[in-house]
């Protein structure tokens, strides 16, 4: 049944014929106990409601399927404590673990990596030189979005920040600092917000009350929530205020107005994560760390700055 070459071919054919006649199929559970592997890996994500993670999962699961592996998914709901628990518990039930944008502190993550091996990190650096990393270049892309807004004449901006534990948020903040160092005539107000549509919606009054002519949202969901609330307040985008997102989730190009954003190659990230996991599962040294650069998608949510901001 396993296709071992040491078994006589005629005997093997008789066994397979009997199995087909009896409609027999091997038990995956029993097989995993005998072989010592489950042909399953787990992926822990911080928020399954965010479509950007769907793309990573799509690319990873399709690549894993080609090698006969299944993918188990766990959602930590943006909780670093829950993330650690899920990482340890799911790893006990599978052959390897992919941590997608983990939120736990760096010291805690580095301490945990040995226990979780084999493990691959997506959108998070590791002190461990043996832990493969695949990531998007958030810092460069955010800088390009800021440059785009500056090109439209925007000098007063609001950044709706993501989760404090998010490394992606830290990279965006680094890009903002770089931008301000290069352009001392510009101002960016950093406003705590979140990662969801509701977070962006609830930030509307703070945005309208500012003197900003442009808004940089942590991600597309936040940008969409904000634009929805701005519409209810009769604030026109981009005529009165420009808004940019980040990720380029599928709905970004179809909303009104279509959203200017940074298109992250999430499906490619997932596929690269699987290739490195496949190397680890087969005892090979995984390929080098990879940093994929998002592409800026300039759409109708951005335009020339209106002097004085929304309130003028």
Q: What is the pTM of this model?
A: 0.86
Q: Are residues 68 and 51 in the same domain?
A: yes
Cα angle, residue 57 at apex, residues 131 and 113 outer, rounded to 5°: 20
Q: Are residues 270 and 257 in the same domain?
A: no
Within-domain flag for 240: yes
Q: Are residues 186 and 259 in the same domain?
A: yes
Q: Are residues 66 and 109 in the same domain?
A: yes
pLDDT of residue 36: 56
pLDDT of residue 18: 81
Q: Are residues 257 and 161 in the same domain?
A: yes
Within-domain flag for 2: no
Within-domain flag for 302: no
Q: Are residues 259 and 144 in the same domain?
A: yes
Within-domain flag for 280: yes
Within-domain flag for 310: no
The alpha-carbon radius of gyration of the chain (Å, integer) is: 24
The string of DSSP letters for 278-312 reads HHHHTTPPPPPPEEEPPEEE--TT--PPPTT-TT-
Q: Are residues 131 and 178 in the same domain?
A: no
pLDDT of residue 7: 80
Give Cα separations from 184 to 99, 154, 179, 193, 244 (angstroms): 38, 13, 8, 25, 21
Within-domain flag for 150: yes
Q: Are residues 233 and 274 in the same domain?
A: no
- Provide the residue range defining the domain that includes 251: 138-263
Within-domain flag for 312: no
Q: Are residues 131 and 278 in the same domain?
A: yes
Tokens for 54?
């769907």
Low-confidence ranges of the chain (pLDDT < 70): 1-5, 24-36, 308-312
Within-domain flag for 17: no
Q: How many domains does the chain have?
A: 2
Q: What is the CATH number of the domain that holds 53?
A: 3.40.50.2300
**Which residues does 175 contact at the CB level (< 8 Å), separation at least 6?**
138, 139, 140, 141, 142, 143, 146
Q: Are residues 148 and 259 in the same domain?
A: yes
Q: Are residues 73 and 216 in the same domain?
A: no
pLDDT of residue 86: 97
Q: Are residues 143 and 253 in the same domain?
A: yes
């Amino acid at each position: 049944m396993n296709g071992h070459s040491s078994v006589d071919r005629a005997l093997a054919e008789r066994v397979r014929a009997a199995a087909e006649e009896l409609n027999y199929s091997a038990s995956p559970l029993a097989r995993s106990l005998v072989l010592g592997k489950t042909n399953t890996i787990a992926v822990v994500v911080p928020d399954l409601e965010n479509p950007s993670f769907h793309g990573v999962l799509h690319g990873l699961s399709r690549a894993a399927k080609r090698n006969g592996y299944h993918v188990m998914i766990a959602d930590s709901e943006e909780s670093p404590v829950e993330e650690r628990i899920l990482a340890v518990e799911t790893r006990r039930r599978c052959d390897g673990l992919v941590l997608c944008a983990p939120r736990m502190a760096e010291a805690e993550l580095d301490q945990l990596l040995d226990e979780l091996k084999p493990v691959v990190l997506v959108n998070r650096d590791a002190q461990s030189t043996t832990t493969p990393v695949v990531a998007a270049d958030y810092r460069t892309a955010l800088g390009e979005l800021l440059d785009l807004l500056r090109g439209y004449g925007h000098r007063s901006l609001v950044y709706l920040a993501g989760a404090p534990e998010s490394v992606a948020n830290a990279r965006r903040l680094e890009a903002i600092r770089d931008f301000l160092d290069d352009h001392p005539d510009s101002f960016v107000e950093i406003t705590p917000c979140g990662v969801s549509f509701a977070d962006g919606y609830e930030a509307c009054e703070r945005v309208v009350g500012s003197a900003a002519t442009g808004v940089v949202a942590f991600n597309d969901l936040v940008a969409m929530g904000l634009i929805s609330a701005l519409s209810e307040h009769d604030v026109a985008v981009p005529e009165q205020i420009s808004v940019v997102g980040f990720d380029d989730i599928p709905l970004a190009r179809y909303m009104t107005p279509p959203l200017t954003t940074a298109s992250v190659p999430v499906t490619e990230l997932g596929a690269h994560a699987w290739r490195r996991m496949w190397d680890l599962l087969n005892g090979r040294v995984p390929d080098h760390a990879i940093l994929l650069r998002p592409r800026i998608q300039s759409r109708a949510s951005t335009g020339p700055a209106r002097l004085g901001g929304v309130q003028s």
